[in-house]
């Protein structure tokens, strides 16, 4: 199908090179539109933008888990408290 309007052409240009989850796709769309408006769409590596969008999604999930359950969670027994494993994922997502 050939795009008939400028808006359809712009939307069709922003198709990511691989399938993204809904949250990652929202990040992709937001940044793709901004990058395009700045005139840099042709020089940006689209695979790296996908990786960025996926990393943002993971970061937000880890942060939400920590917000919901705290930094210490129940361990093997009711008395044991251990570090929330999402802390590691959050730190790794920040490092990328």
Q: What is the pTM for the complete model shown?
A: 0.80
What's the length of the chain?
Answer: 96
User: In order along the chain (96 residues), what is the average pLDDT of each group of 10 residues?
Assistant: 44 85 96 95 95 97 97 92 95 89
For position 11, what pLDDT does the model report? 57
Residue 70 — φ and ψ, nearest 5°? Answer: 90, 175
- The CA–CA distances, whole Å, from 30 to 26, 87, 93 equal 6, 27, 20
The conformational region for residue 70 under phi > 0 = left, psi -120 to 50 = alpha, else beta, is left
* Cβ burial, residue 35 (10 Å; 0-12/13-18/19+): middle
């Amino acid at each position: 199908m050939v795009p008939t309007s400028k808006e359809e052409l712009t939307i069709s240009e922003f198709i990511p090179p691989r399938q993204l989850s809904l949250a990652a796709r929202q990040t992709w769309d937001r940044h793709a539109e901004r990058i395009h408006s700045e005139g840099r769409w042709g020089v940006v590596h689209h695979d790296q933008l996908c990786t960025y969008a996926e990393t943002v999604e993971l970061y937000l999930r880890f942060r939400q888990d920590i917000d919901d359950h705290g930094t210490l969670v129940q361990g093997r027994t009711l008395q044991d408290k251990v570090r929330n494993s999402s802390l590691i994922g959050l730190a790794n997502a920040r490092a990328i």
